[in-house]
């Protein structure tokens, strides 16, 4: 079923994974108001559905609720340091408001909720134009284009391989009791963005130069999850895939994708097939990146 969670949805279900929302800064900033609607109205509709259908519901929250954190690493008890009016706010505040809604529906309506705060995740099947750092660097390296490091590259992230994250989400959904709060899911091994660039260059054998671009506003300086709570609640869950192993699998995937016919054509075709207004498709054709942004936003929503 293709559906935008901003609109109500009446179906019979036992479990809901509410993953709706673009997660790449490039994509969620493309239409910030729709991003907010997706998180806030989407949460209200999905919680209303969970309440009526008596379904268990899991919310994909985010490490972005910690903003530019002054506590390091980030534990679930940290309330965060978020700019309410910046370019990232549509995502950060949307996800924070969604968390509020989840806990209010739990307290007031007794809805059976699970809230995962997902830290930077990567892996095969990412879109080449996703815009986040791991896919950007791999695609740039494989195409022999410059690797775009924003700022001086000393900011840190902790990258979790998708299989590890999915395992964590499923365990969280399945666990009979998860206590009273959200659960961080991510890999606690921390790298600088520059280290990531160098690792991608080494693993691809690429000779792409590293170039510096301006640091986007409110870009968090550091990020690393504290995952003791997940370990305790989810039967000793922790990420098993080291960065290099996950990167190798992701690089292998992108080698196949980039060798295939241009994704743009496929995506435009799929827009037309879904009977979206042709003007959207034409607008998209005029601007390659917008094609991909539009489609990703629609797909994720």
Query: Binders of ligand UDP: how many residues, by CB under 6 A?
Result: 23
Question: How far apart are alpha carbons 38 and 31 in whole angstroms?
Answer: 11
Question: Using CB under 6 A, which of 74, 155, 280, 296 touches ligand UDP?
Answer: 155
Return the ∠ at Cα 4 (arms to 54 and 81), rounded to 5°.
85
Question: How far apart are alpha carbons 180 and 182 in whole angstroms?
Answer: 7
Interacting stretch for ligand UDP, rule CB under 6 A, among 4-12, 73-81, 168-176, 263-271? 4-12
Q: Please list every residue from 157 through 196 that binds ligand UDP, using CB under 6 A.
A: 157, 193
Interacting stretch for ligand UDP, rule CB under 6 A, among 45-53, 177-185, 235-243, 285-293? 45-53
By CB under 6 A, residue 207 contacts ligand UDP: no
Question: Using CB under 6 A, which of 1, 2, 10, 77 touches ligand UDP?
Answer: 10
Among residues 240, 248, 150, 153, the alpha carbon closest in space to that of 193 is found at 153
The C-alpha R_g of the chain, in whole angstroms, comes to: 19
CB of 48: closest distance to ligand UDP in angstroms? 2
CB of 217: closest distance to ligand UDP in angstroms? 10
CB of 140: closest distance to ligand UDP in angstroms? 8
Question: Using CB under 6 A, which of 38, 39, 89, 120 touches ligand UDP?
Answer: 120
By CB under 6 A, residue 44 contacts ligand UDP: yes
Question: How far apart are alpha carbons 99 and 60 in whole angstroms?
Answer: 9
By CB under 6 A, residue 8 contacts ligand UDP: yes
Q: Please list every residue from 50 through 109 that binds ligand UDP, using CB under 6 A.
A: 51-52
Strand-strand pairing, 121-122 and 160-161 = parallel
CB of 191: closest distance to ligand UDP in angstroms? 10
By CB under 6 A, residue 132 contacts ligand UDP: yes
Tokens of 1: 């079923």
Burial call 39-72: b when 16+ CB within 10 Å, e when fewer: bbbbbbbbbbbbbebebbbbbbbbbbbbbbbeee
Question: Using CB under 6 A, which of 78, 146, 148, 249 touches ligand UDP?
Answer: 148
Question: Using CB under 6 A, which of 9, 210, 258, 285 touches ligand UDP?
Answer: 9
Residue length of the chain? 301
Interacting stretch for ligand UDP, rule CB under 6 A, among 74-82, 150-158, 236-244, 274-282? 150-158
Question: How far apart are alpha carbons 266 and 287 in whole angstroms?
Answer: 15
Q: Which positions are annotated as active-site residues?
A: 91
Question: How far apart are alpha carbons 299 and 283 in whole angstroms?
Answer: 18
Question: How far apart are alpha carbons 113 and 102 in whole angstroms?
Answer: 7
Tokens of 183: 């659960």
67 DSSP 8-state letter: B
By CB under 6 A, residue 216 contacts ligand UDP: yes
By CB under 6 A, residue 48 contacts ligand UDP: yes
Residue carrying the six token digits 């990567």:
122
By CB under 6 A, residue 150 contacts ligand UDP: yes
What residues line the site for ligand UDP (CB under 6 A)? Answer: 8-10, 25, 44-45, 48-49, 51-52, 120, 132-133, 136, 148-150, 155, 157, 193, 215-216, 219
């Amino acid at each position: 079923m293709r559906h935008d969670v901003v609109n109500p949805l009446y179906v019979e279900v036992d479990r809901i994974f509410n993953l709706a929302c673009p997660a790449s800064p490039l994509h969620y900033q493309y239409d910030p108001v729709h991003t907010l609607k997706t998180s806030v109205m989407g949460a209200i509709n999905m919680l209303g559905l969970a309440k009526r259908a008596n379904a268990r519901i899991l919310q994909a929250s985010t490490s972005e609720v910690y903003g530019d954190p002054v506590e390091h690493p980030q534990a679930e008890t940290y309330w965060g340091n978020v700019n309410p009016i910046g370019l990232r706010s549509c995502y950060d505040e949307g996800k924070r408001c969604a968390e509020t809604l989840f806990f209010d529906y739990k307290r007031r309506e007794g809805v059976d909720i699970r809230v995962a705060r997902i830290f930077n995740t990567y892996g095969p099947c990412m879109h080449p134009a996703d815009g986040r750092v791991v896919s950007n660097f791999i695609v740039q390296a494989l195409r022999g284009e410059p690797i775009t490091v924003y700022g001086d590259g000393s900011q840190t992230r902790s990258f979790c391989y998708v299989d590890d994250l999915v395992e964590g989400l499923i365990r969280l959904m399945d666990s009979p009791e998860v206590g009273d709060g959200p659960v961080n899911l991510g890999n606690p091994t921390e790298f600088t963005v520059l280290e990531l660039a160098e690792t991608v260059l080494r693993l691809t054998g690429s000779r792409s130069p590293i170039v510096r671009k301006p640091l986007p506003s409110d870009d968090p300086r550091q990020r690393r999850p504290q995952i003791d709570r997940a370990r305790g609640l989810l039967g000793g869950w922790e990420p098993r895939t080291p960065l290099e192993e996950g990167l190798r699998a992701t690089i292998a995937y992108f080698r196949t994708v980039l060798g295939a016919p241009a994704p743009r054509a496929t995506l435009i075709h799929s827009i037309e097939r879904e009977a979206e207004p042709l003007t959207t498709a034409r607008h998209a054709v005029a601007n390659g990146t917008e094609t991909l942004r539009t489609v990703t936003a629609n797909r994720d929503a």
